[in-house]
Amino acid sequence: MKHYITAICLLAGSLLFTSCDKSSNGGKSDTSTPKFSIAIHGGAGALAKGSYTAEQEAAFKAKLEEATKLGYEMLSKGDSAADVVVAVIKILEDSPLFNAGKGSVITYNGKIKMDAAIMNGRTLDCGTVNNVQRIKNPITAARMVMDSSKYIMFSSAGAESFAAKNGIEMIDKSYFYTQHQIDRWRKTKDSTDASYIHYVDSMAALQSPIISALPEEGEFGTVGCVVMDKYGNLAAGTSTGGLINKKYNRVGDSPIIGAGTYANNKTCAISCTGTGEDFIKTVAAKTVSDLIEFKGMTLDAATYDMIHVRFKEITGDGGMIAVDKYGNISWQYNSDGMFRARTDQNGKIETYIYAE
Amino acid sequence: MKHYITAICLLAGSLLFTSCDKSSNGGKSDTSTPKFSIAIHGGAGALAKGSYTAEQEAAFKAKLEEATKLGYEMLSKGDSAADVVVAVIKILEDSPLFNAGKGSVITYNGKIKMDAAIMNGRTLDCGTVNNVQRIKNPITAARMVMDSSKYIMFSSAGAESFAAKNGIEMIDKSYFYTQHQIDRWRKTKDSTDASYIHYVDSMAALQSPIISALPEEGEFGTVGCVVMDKYGNLAAGTSTGGLINKKYNRVGDSPIIGAGTYANNKTCAISCTGTGEDFIKTVAAKTVSDLIEFKGMTLDAATYDMIHVRFKEITGDGGMIAVDKYGNISWQYNSDGMFRARTDQNGKIETYIYAE
């Protein structure tokens, strides 16, 4: 109900900063401060309530809060949506808690292969990389593709050559391995190939008591960020290690513009997490944008329609975060939980794992 | 105007096989024969009228006709949309006239790296491969991904491993090289790296008088096929060598579901050709589908809106072919020409390079 009221208010005069509340914070709008909003996710793979210890939940929330706080500070001082998306996702990539950058899942043959994408809603410019193994922060490479190439999507060794040539930080493959992901891989892998095991054993994996004690069943931990900056520009970014045990240089939805990542100042910015194939075949992010642009849906109605109606038809699995051109934030998931956080110009940071 | 009338007729009773004409053939519907439709393209890179000799134009048209005729015969005997898409695209991949399979353009470092995708509009299942170098018919590998994998998109050597393991025909890299593309590459390449030149020189390139005499400036030659079979199911497929001189394992729109390839029984099937990045950033194929589903546009209105209105906003470049769930065919391009052909259950094959 709330989003209908919000939509009416916004239609009536959001650009004049009326006294309507935004669904994203419930607080009153400040007519003197430009609005901005940010939402982030750390994957829709959270297990049923009670699966994590209090200490683990606190660790997830602290990291989500740290990333969101940085986003808030940057947005407050007028940084652009794309700059914020990159800086925030870097924090999540650097954390071994999530399946992106350090802490990524391990492929069938013992490698770590990461995908990332970013899109600028003002220009529709975008950049994506897939199957990269040596780029410390894949989101920075995606940004470099967007800014410094006439192309959009680079794959595997080619993406790494482009990144290295353009000054993106490269790092030894060992850096990405954590003992937790190695333990998961050993239990779930469907190959006994000794060379794969030997390869993984050769990695200097991170040992961390909190992370090693995480449940082994967690599925997704893709990270993403959507932003409306104080100039009203939108951007979205997503970064992931993909699916554990993936084969054949499988590419998921994260680096597919329109599937896992999309931004358009006309409508919204979106980042998805879940079974990537479900988001690819439904072109999920662009569907939400088109429901807003072509059907006049509110952001909440459009994300709900995608995750709770359209996903039912294909037994789709996952969630998404979104921000619209008015700064409204929406998130939906059909999993047990989704690691997520948000704030806006009022600075109150909310972090959640399960239902609010 | 014609498509509005068509749409009204179809709304009124297309499923009862009324006497309404279809815009795709102008002939009378046969109330006893199930309808089907097929359209193909060989790229929107045709140069200005007069650039090709009469002999070259005839060669293009003959190959388009051969492929369309096979599609007609298969559809007549009840083959499925996906089977037809694969068989038809194989013919175009095997022809050195087009930039897909044999005859593909050469990358910056002298390689040939191909992308392909297929999508089934009934199930939304899809399969794509990118940056493959040894698969004789990339469209067959995309089909195998769709049918025999839980994933959708495989890249480079991984895609080749999957294909080889599943019995897809592999071939020596030399097979794909034509003297015409080597000559083009030599003139346009922006590198003097001797190892690249040596690599290309080591290939046993096809010598063909007609093809070697083709103009060197032609840009795109991606191939695609869209089909509605006699059961009313849609499918789309696209195959390409990408852009000449491309670097860093660049992936274009062809293997991106929603960008260059999309099919959905609810709306339409689409295959695109042009500057891939323009189709990726606009998620062009899904946009057309959503204009139909969410805005109620006809197929012609939706493809026109995409190629002649939305593409103007981003200076987009290229064209598309589409078939909707009623069997109507539409094609649009903003280039000088687009190699294309179509037919339906009446069997009259039309082939075009320039305006009709």
- Indicate yes or no: pTM above 0.80: yes
Looking at the structure, do residues B219 and B240 belong to the same domain, yes or no? yes
The encoded tokens of residue B159 equal: 């895609």
Amino acid (1-letter code) at residue B161: S
Looking at the structure, do residues B140 and B221 belong to the same domain, yes or no? yes
Residue A323 and residue A299: Cα distance in Å, rounded?
Answer: 8
- Say yes or no for a CB contact (<8 Å) between B256 and A256: yes
A149 contacts in B (CB within 8 Å)? 248
The single residue of A107, A128, A178, A222 carrying the catalytic annotation is A222
Name every residue whose Cβ is closer than 8 Å to that of residue B172 and which is 6 or more positions away in sequence. Answer: B134
Q: By C-alpha distance, which of B247, B259, B271, B265 is closest to B332?
A: B271
pLDDT for B49 equals: 85
Contact A119, A235 (CB under 8 A): yes
Amino acid (1-letter code) at residue B96: P
DSSP for residue B136: S
**Out of B150, B249, B294, closest to residue A154 by CB:** B249
The answer to whether residue A11 scores a pLDDT higher than 70 is no
Q: Which residues of chain B have pLDDT under 70?
A: 1-32, 46, 190-191, 218-219
- Say yes or no for a CB contact (<8 Å) between B247 and A151: yes
- Say yes or no for a CB contact (<8 Å) between B248 and A282: no
pLDDT for B24 equals: 40
**Out of A124, A158, A248, closest to residue B249 by CB:** A158
Mutate to test the interface with A, among B115, B123, B155 (most CBs of A within 10 A): B155
pLDDT for B219 equals: 64
Q: By C-alpha distance, which of B114, B241, B245 is closest to B191?
A: B245
Looking at the structure, do residues A284 and A310 belong to the same domain, yes or no? yes
Looking at the structure, do residues A301 and A281 belong to the same domain, yes or no? yes
Q: By C-alpha distance, which of A348, A318, A343 is closest to A332?
A: A318
Burial class (CB in 10 A: 0-12, 13-18, 19+), B16: exposed
Looking at the structure, do residues B27 and B176 belong to the same domain, yes or no? no
Identify the band that residue A191 occupies on the pLDDT scale cut at 50, 70 and 90: low
Identify the band that residue A2 occupies on the pLDDT scale cut at 50, 70 and 90: very low
Amino acid (1-letter code) at residue A24: S
Q: For A36-69, how does the pLDDT look when each residue is reduced to its tens digit (9 = 90+)?
A: 999 999 999 767 888 889 999 999 999 999 999 9
B311 contacts in A (CB within 8 Å)? none
Q: By C-alpha distance, which of A40, A43, A41 is closest to A244?
A: A43
- Say yes or no for a CB contact (<8 Å) between B158 and A277: no
Give the residue numbers spanning the domain of B4.
1-31
Residue labelled with tokens 């080749």: B160
Looking at the structure, do residues B133 and B265 belong to the same domain, yes or no? yes
- Say yes or no for a CB contact (<8 Å) between B277 and A152: yes
pLDDT for A1 equals: 38
Contact B307, B319 (CB under 8 A): yes
Looking at the structure, do residues B311 and B293 belong to the same domain, yes or no? yes
Residue A302 and residue A267: Cα distance in Å, rounded?
Answer: 11
CA-to-CA separations, B271 to B37, B39, B261, B319, B320, in angstroms, rounded: 14, 10, 5, 9, 6
Mutate to test the interface with A, among B250, B267, B313 (most CBs of A within 10 A): B250
DSSP for residue B308: I
Name every residue whose Cβ is closer than 8 Å to that of residue A316 and which is 6 or more positions away in sequence. Answer: A274, A275, A278, A279, A282, A284, A307, A310, A334
Residue A43 and residue A320: Cα distance in Å, rounded?
Answer: 9
CA-to-CA separations, B275 to A151, A288, A352, in angstroms, rounded: 10, 25, 42
Identify the band that residue A7 occupies on the pLDDT scale cut at 50, 70 and 90: very low
Identify the band that residue A25 occupies on the pLDDT scale cut at 50, 70 and 90: very low
Residue A71 and residue A84: Cα distance in Å, rounded?
Answer: 6
Query: Structural domain tally of chain B?
Result: 2
Looking at the structure, do residues B107 and B14 belong to the same domain, yes or no? no
Contact A81, A235 (CB under 8 A): yes
The angle at the Cα of A270, spanning A267 to A274, to the nearest 5 degrees, equals 150
Strand partners, B263: B269
CATH number at residue A158: 3.60.20.30
Looking at the structure, do residues B43 and B128 belong to the same domain, yes or no? yes
Contact A189, A218 (CB under 8 A): no
Q: Please report the ipTM that was assigned to this predicted complex.
A: 0.90
Looking at the structure, do residues B17 and B45 belong to the same domain, yes or no? no
The answer, for A246 touching chain B at a CB cutoff of 8 Å, is: yes
Provide the total of helices (H) and of strands (E) in chain B, helices listed first: 12, 13
Q: By C-alpha distance, which of B84, B82, B16, B15 is closest to B344?
A: B84
- Say yes or no for a CB contact (<8 Å) between B257 and A259: yes
pLDDT for A219 equals: 65
Looking at the structure, do residues B285 and B237 belong to the same domain, yes or no? yes
pLDDT for B92 equals: 98
The minimum CA-CA distance between B257 and chain A, rounded to whole Å, is 7
**Out of B130, B282, B294, closest to residue A295 by CB:** B294
Looking at the structure, do residues A348 and A208 belong to the same domain, yes or no? yes
Identify the band that residue A187 occupies on the pLDDT scale cut at 50, 70 and 90: confident
